[in-house]
Structure 1
Amino acid sequence: MDFEDMLVQAADHLESGRYVSPYRLVMVDELQDASQARARLTRALVAQPGRHLLAVGDDWQSINRFAGADLSVVTGFHDQFGPGPTVHLTTTFRCHQSITDTAASFVRKNPAQVRKTVVSVHDRPIDRAAHEGVQLRTVASAAEVPRAIGDFLTQLRDAIHGGAIVADSVSVDVLGRYHQDRGLMPHAAPPEIRLAFRTIHSAKGLEADYVVIPNLSAGSYAFPSRIADDPVLALAMTGGDTYPHAEERRLFYVALTRARRGVLLISPEHNPSPFVTELIQDRLVRDVGPRPVATPRPGCRVGVLRQRSGCNGHFWGCSTFPACTYTCNTPPGPGERPSVTRSTTRRPAF
């Protein structure tokens, strides 16, 4: 018997009348982490007349489906618990508005989630430093990530010494999608920097002055993850919504919103995460170089343009070829139209 079995048996006792709860008010926090068994027990606790339920949750932070969490407990709240008033808590006291706007614009695209607008009490950057908000740095390979993080820490140190950051020290959390991302950490940090590594799941509920997400690449052990759930585990998991990378998007939102002052995204220039591609296309991130990330394939959330050679010379084609045969003569910038929309006669010579 596991904990979920105990919840089910407890609900059985309440529903059958073998136990009558003396509690008139039931309060549930972190409702987005509730399983159907927990929802059933909660319904049973407030089924008698004169019982009231107060629940607090944020469906944008529903990231524990692997542990049985069911997003529909929040999105279908009134279907499960009956009618009642809903108050949207739309003010954040952590991030300033720049981070809030980027994170909210990214996560709210999923139509299955609750629509809301989030406003920060910090309508302007907290300090004068240029590294406030969400910025992107590209690297040639994973081997360059520790140095990129180290450069960022040095910038923060210099900003403290120069007065751009009004503080004696700042905290920086490096948030990895997996524990193995710890290997991307720099060997040391300046004494003014309180540096820590956490997985994004373990960082939920925490905060830091700055957040670094070090492995925004495409692939299996990347972000978003493409690792398939274990078939046995899948038997115990609730069905996910159909929006692409739905839970991974919410996980990215959680990572962004752990930061009070600024976020640094690190991405390989030739194999960027689809999330990076989307942020660039939507102009939600500031690119700080040193090289621009590969140009997103127009209209595609996965592929990027790479220079190829064919019988007619050099051209640009989608990285997902042969799944996508898109080509153009000149790579367009974000939001621009390509010089040639599509070619079906010229095939890349790979």
Structure 2
Amino acid sequence: MFLDLYWPIHDAWQARLLDGGFVDFEDMLVQAADHLESGRYVSPYRLVMVDELQDASRARARLTQALVRQPGRHLLAVGDDWQSINRFAGADLSVVTRFHDHFGPGPTVHLTKTFRCHQSISDTAARFVGKNPDQLTKGVVSVNDRPVDPAAHEGVQLRSIPSAAEVPRAIGDFLDQLRDAIHEGHITGDSVSVDVLGRYNQDRSLMPRVSPRGVRLAFRTIHSAKGLEADYVVVPNLSAGSYAFPSRIADDPVLALAITEGDSYPHAEERRLFYVALTRARRGVLLISPEHNPSPFVTELIQDGLVQDVGPRPVATPCPGCRVGVLRPRSGRTGHFWGCSTFPACTYTSNTLPLAGVSLPTRTTQRPPF
């Protein structure tokens, strides 16, 4: 049905371009590659340089290939597959991960030093995003490797809250703590920048109404924050659900006709988006999560010992069965027990409550649905 609707619009669009002598952007790429591949145009450039290669679509990769296909041509490309977050716009991760298959043999230089993040932030972000075997393996070393200063709210911290309605207050409390840290001399300088990074534009509604003196506050989506930085980053809506993080909104199947297949690792691009969010911060990151409905990313960070919960009440214990849900008290025919919040997707149950970072009980039961 989609194609029946699409082709008349496509044909009308192409006719309009032809009548007006116009060309759209994608056609520029394709037609330019056609000219180069056919020999109708020979590029005079011996060196082609490409930045942000992880955002390249197949059409852009094809044009780049065509520019360097003649003898004596060289390609210098810079890109980071861990920051590939634009698949919706046609970006093809394999252009980086299978670079030599696309462009031929050549040396690779790993840029492993970061001048932005504290080492603790870099380590947390790298361990999280580096689990995907479809990505390149690399280490990242920060020029700032001194110990974390808790009084300056450095590193990655988690604050659990009762509900999403508490997010503005949690952000406001954090801003007040930064103001106090500046006043007490724990933070050098007379001001800091704080970026609240939302998964969606609608997360802007979670912002507090005012910001204390000495704190420069801004809201951005994580996509728009790529390439930017701030002293501190707040990720305000780390909950589970459709409009949460990771997003569970499935792409429309018709998009498969136009964009490349994603890699098979669960939430692969959402994980890279989370990595981008974490690594925008120079000093510290605050993650805010509801205690009874945390994001799978939060439960994973807790289980891996990568984050400290500074909230008044800790996030519920992650389910050791699926590592996605959390354990909640339930009752059944045989009494009380702990079960996964994602039931029936996960049927893990236990008679005792395992604690994050503590050995799990060996005796568990599988109970029928009630």
Specify the alignment match of 2:249 in structure 1: 227
- Is contact 1:328–1:340 with CA below 8 Å preserved after alignment? no
Counterpart code for 2:82: W
Match of 2:334 in 1: 312
Does residue 111 (structure 1) correspond to residue 125 (structure 2)? The answer is no
Is the Cα contact below 8 Å between 2:351 and 2:364 reproduced in 1? no
Among 198, 204, 211, the alignment partner of 1:176 is 198
Find 2:303's aligned residue among 274, 281, 300: 281
Q: TM-score scaled to structure 2, two decimals? A: 0.91
Counterpart of 1:312 in structure 2: which amino acid?
Answer: T
Equivalent in 122, 129, 140 of residue 144 of structure 2: 122
**Does the alignment pair 1:241 with 2:241?**
no
Partners of 1:125 and 1:133 within 8 A in 2 = no
| Aligned-partner Cα distance in 1 for 2:317–2:163 | 17
Q: SS in structure 1 opposite 2:196?
A: strand
Q: Residue 14 of structure 1 aligns with which residue?
A: 36
- Please tell me the residue identity of whatever aligns with 1:117: G
C-alpha distance in structure 1 between counterparts of 2:293 and 2:164, whole Å: 11
Range 225-234 or range 19-28, more displaced: 225-234
Distance 1:50 1:162 in 2: 61
Equivalent position of 2:353 in the other structure: 331
* Native 8 Å contact 1:68 1:238 kept in 2: yes
Is the 2:158–2:309 contact (alpha carbons within 8 Å) kept by the matching residues of 1?
yes
TM-aligned CA deviation for residue 338 of structure 1:
3.3
- Does residue 134 (structure 1) correspond to residue 177 (structure 2)? The answer is no
Contact persistence 1:91–1:119 (CA under 8 A): yes
Q: Does 1:98 align with 2:120?
A: yes
Counterparts of 1:155 and 1:348, CA distance in 2: 46
Aligned to 1:59: 81
2:236 maps to 214
Of 267, 284, 291 in structure 2, the residue corresponding to residue 269 of structure 1 is 291
2 CA distance for matches of 1:340 and 1:15?
A: 64
What is the letter of the counterpart of residue 330 of structure 1? T
Whether the aligned pair in 2 keeps the contact of 1:326 and 1:341 (CA below 8 Å) is: no
Deviations 1:323-345 (A, max 9, x none): 2221111211123333354323x
What is the TM-score with the length of structure 1 in the denominator? 0.97
Cα 1:115–1:71 change in 2 (3 A) is: same
Q: Single out whichever of 229-238 and 254-263 deviates more from structure 2.
A: 229-238
Number of aligned residue pairs:
348
Which residue in the other structure is 2:221 paired with?
199
Query: Tell me, what secondary structure is at the counterpart of 1:205?
Result: coil
Q: Deviations over 1:226-281 (max 9, x none)?
A: 00112333321110000000000000000000000000000000000000000000
Q: CA deviation at 1:102?
A: 0.1
Distance 1:228 1:284 in 2: 28
Code of the aligned partner of 2:64: T
Q: In structure 2, how many angstroms separate the alpha carbons of the residues matched to 1:115 and 1:199? A: 27
Residue by residue over 1:116-159, the C-alpha shift from the partner in whole angstroms, topping out at 9 and shown as x without a partner, is: 00000000157662511000000111100000000000000000
Q: CA deviation at 1:52?
A: 0.6
Amino acid at match of 2:46: R
Structure 1 residue identity aligned to 2:243: Y
Partner of 1:152: 174
Corresponding residue for residue 315 of structure 2: 293
**Mean alpha-carbon deviation: is it higher for 290-299 or for 137-146?**
290-299
C-alpha distance in 1 between matches for 2:338 and 2:191: 46
Question: Once the 2 structures are TM-superposed, how far is the Cα of residue 321 of structure 1 from its aligned partner?
Answer: 1.2
Structure 1: 5+ residue stretches without partners: none
The answer as to whether partners of 2:321 and 2:348 remain within 8 angstroms in 1 is no
The question of 1:33 aligning with 2:36 is answered no
CA distance in structure 1 between the partners assigned to 2:363 and 2:44 by the alignment: 68
Cα deviations by residue, 1:18-77 (Å, 9 ceiling, x for unpaired): 001010100000000000110110011011111110000000000000000000000000
| Partner Cα separation in structure 2 for residue 28 and residue 19 of structure 1 | 20
Q: 1:260 aligned to 271, 275, 282, which one?
A: 282
Deviation per residue, 1:147-206 (Å, 9 max, x gap): 000000000000000000011000000000000000000000002100000000000000
Structure 1 residues 126 and 322: alpha-carbon distance in aligned structure 2, compared to 1, 3 A threshold: closer
